[in-house]
Amino acid sequence: MPVTLVASWVLPARWRNGLVAVVSLLFYTWGAGPYTVLLLSAIAVNYAAGLAVDSVRLRQRPRARRGMLIATVGWDLAILGVWKYGGFASRQIDALSSALGLGHSPIVSLALPIGISFFTFHHLSYVVDVYRDSRPAQRSLVGFVTYIAMFPQLIAGPIVRYHEISDQLATTGRDRFGDFAAGFPRFALGLAKKVIVADTIAPVADAAFAHAGGQINTPTAWLAALAYTVQIYFDFSGYSDMAIGLGTMLGFRLPENFNRPYSAYSVTDFWRRWHMSLSRWFRDYVYIPLGGNRGGTLNTYRNLLIIFVLCGFWHGANWTFLVWGLYHGGLLVAERLLGWDRPPAGVPATVLRRAATFLLVVVGWVFFRAETMTEALGVLQAMFSWQPGELDEFASFALDHQRTLTFALALTVVLLPASLTLGPLIESGRGRMAGVVRAAMTWVAAPYAAVLVAAGTFSPFLYYQF
């Protein structure tokens, strides 16, 4: 990162895209090794497809354009399907074959290439946007590689739709000092979220979930669910802040990904605030093409369920993710039926709705975190039917004084009104208090987090696995 930033300041502005493209491919090769060939082949196919779809448009051949789109989308989904879901599918076939008395079938075992879910969705966004004529094809191969492989967001997002960044790829003139001044405090905030909060809470969640497959008592079950609720928010939103801040320092404005999701008054509102770039992607490229809410009530409910089944399965090839997606999709349908997707009236109703929504989200995270459905159901049973006992000894050992304080403060922060939290102040950049907060992030939080990184052990981001 520091080498790239220095180079971006020293080199001519017109070299920015080339610099970002080269260092991004080096970054990916460093982490993914031979799987870089897979990324490069996907880049080559989609770059050529975008040019072909654009050229056919000029010759007014709609059927040929549609055929090219279908073929390219099929290629991208095939890559994702084979590498991410091939092993899962082979295990299900083996289980079914054994149950029917037909013996065992071969099981596929493939390593998951880094960031495959994210760069596949970027490719799909590109070819669809070009097909829809919302943006012309990217003529510059360097610009296209910059979009797909941009290292700040390559591993875990935000998911950048092509029409959000295409104009930025063509504009290299910028205020380099202003970009750094705007981006570094945001990067520092994300680093602090990840290192100071998420990594501190992670051992607590891991210890509490460690025995979820066996007997788990009620205090340990609630600790597991709440600790993971805090961990995943600060980990993933921290990554997004770091990506957005680093992108800003390089002259790119990446889309926001979080907007205080635990302040939501409904599950519908939660999905307007959580992983917003994924929600917008599914809305633009799946929900609306399916008909959205234009085909009547039943079709709307069907489309919502389809979206959330896909959203759950996108996160991982496991039944727990599928159930998590169905759970959220079912809640959205129920809210529409009951009219709870609309904002509540008055403070008491808002407080009650926020509390109920937070509880529902916490329950959902149990499915998301558990390794198996048996583990998830065991934790949920302990949460909602009293299982006596003290905290599990491993969880109790992990929950030392520092982690207890960090956990309590983090849980308080996510439930505070937005006006009392740091994120909006850093993002606005207006007023004396905003300046104080930005200075604190730059000169206090970032150095402290850097010291923790240097003194600690490797701790990957949670969404690294997707």
Phi, psi of 390, rounded to the nearest 5 degrees: -90, 175
439's CB contacts (< 8 A; 6+ apart) are none
Burial class (CB in 10 A: 0-12, 13-18, 19+), 143: buried
Do 83 and 38 contact (CB within 8 A), yes or no? yes
The half-sphere exposure of 79 on its side-chain side, counting CA atoms within 13 A, is 26
Gap between the Cα atoms of 313 and 98, Å rounded = 24
Phi, psi of 216, rounded to the nearest 5 degrees: -130, 130
Tokens of 239: 């990554």
The residue among 155, 122, 166, 120 whose CA lies nearest residue 246 is 155
Pick the catalytic residue from 275, 315, 328, 401.
315
384's CB contacts (< 8 A; 6+ apart) are none
How many CB atoms lie under 10 A from the CB of residue 428?
12
Gap between the Cα atoms of 161 and 145, Å rounded = 14
From residue 256, give the alpha-carbon distance in Å to each of 272, 303, 446, 466.
11, 25, 21, 19
Tokens of 351: 């407080």
Place of tokens 């982490």: 31
> Torsion angle of alpha carbons 182, 183, 188, 191, nearest 10°?
150
* Cα 234 → chain centroid: 12
Specify whether 211 is catalytic: no
How many CB atoms lie under 10 A from the CB of residue 108?
14
- Residues serving a catalytic function are 315
